[in-house]
């Protein structure tokens, strides 16, 4: 049976780390302070979590065609990013060669090409997460909820723990993707995980 977590499960995991009461409404419309905090912080924290790494589960590919209107200056074409795009990652031309001469501005990318191929991080729900991703995200969410729920002393320790769990979850995620294009990502994940373990702390670089 495939693992699948719900929004409510993840929210209550986070609340449990803070010693707070659990909630029962998956839309966080209940009367409690926990519902109020989750309604404010859950979605932004989820987007933050997904943007931090090139998660295999959240990777999308999209072929972009030029919009009719050209940019005012600088480039000949502009392309609309997908509606579910959280973070554009790689851009390729029609021959699948990486494009570096491009600029992201708002929800468009500017370039001098007729067609572009985009690899990006997309919006997904926690039901698509692996078990390790659930643990990491729940811990990050707990760190975000600590201050509004008056558990300030737990905010920093939980944030540090979340970063360690995110690193481990991403290493596992990268190792499970055996494609050649992600071999360098897996290598970097291992190197950064080793650095994190040797220092006993967190690292800042996200890619």
The residues spanned by each domain of the chain are 7-55+125-199, 58-122
Q: How far is CA 175 from CA 133, 179, 185, in A?
A: 14, 10, 9
What φ, ψ does residue 43 adopt, rounded to 5°? -65, -45
Pairing type for strands 85-92 and 115-122 reads: antiparallel
Sequential pLDDT tens for the chain (207 residues): 556 689 999 999 999 999 999 999 999 999 999 999 999 999 999 999 999 999 999 999 999 999 999 999 999 999 999 999 999 999 999 999 999 999 999 999 999 999 999 999 999 999 999 999 999 999 999 999 999 999 999 999 999 999 999 999 999 988 876 555 555 555 555 555 554 444 444 333 332
C-alpha–C-alpha distance, residues 158 and 191, integer Å: 23
């Amino acid at each position: 049976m495939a693992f699948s977590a719900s929004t409510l499960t993840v929210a209550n995991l986070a609340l449990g780390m803070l010693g707070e009461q659990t909630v029962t409404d998956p839309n966080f419309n209940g009367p409690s302070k926990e519902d109020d905090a989750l309604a404010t912080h859950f979605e932004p924290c989820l987007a933050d979590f997904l943007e931090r790494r090139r998660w295999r589960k959240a990777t999308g590919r999209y072929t972009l065609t030029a919009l009719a209107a050209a940019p005012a200056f600088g480039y000949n074409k502009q392309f609309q990013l997908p509606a579910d795009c959280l973070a554009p990652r790689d851009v390729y031309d029609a021959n699948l060669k990486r494009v570096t001469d491009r600029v992201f501005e708002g929800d468009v990318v500017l370039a001098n090409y007729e067609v572009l191929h985009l690899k990006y991080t997309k919006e997904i729900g926690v039901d698509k997460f692996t078990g390790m991703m659930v643990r990491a995200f729940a811990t990050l969410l707990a760190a975000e909820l600590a201050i509004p729920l008056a558990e300030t002393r737990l905010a920093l320790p939980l944030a540090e723990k979340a970063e360690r769990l995110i690193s481990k979850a991403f290493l596992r995620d990268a190792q499970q993707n055996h494609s050649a294009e992600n071999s360098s990502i897996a290598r970097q994940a291992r190197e950064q995980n080793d650095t994190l373990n040797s220092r006993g702390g967190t690292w800042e670089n996200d890619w």
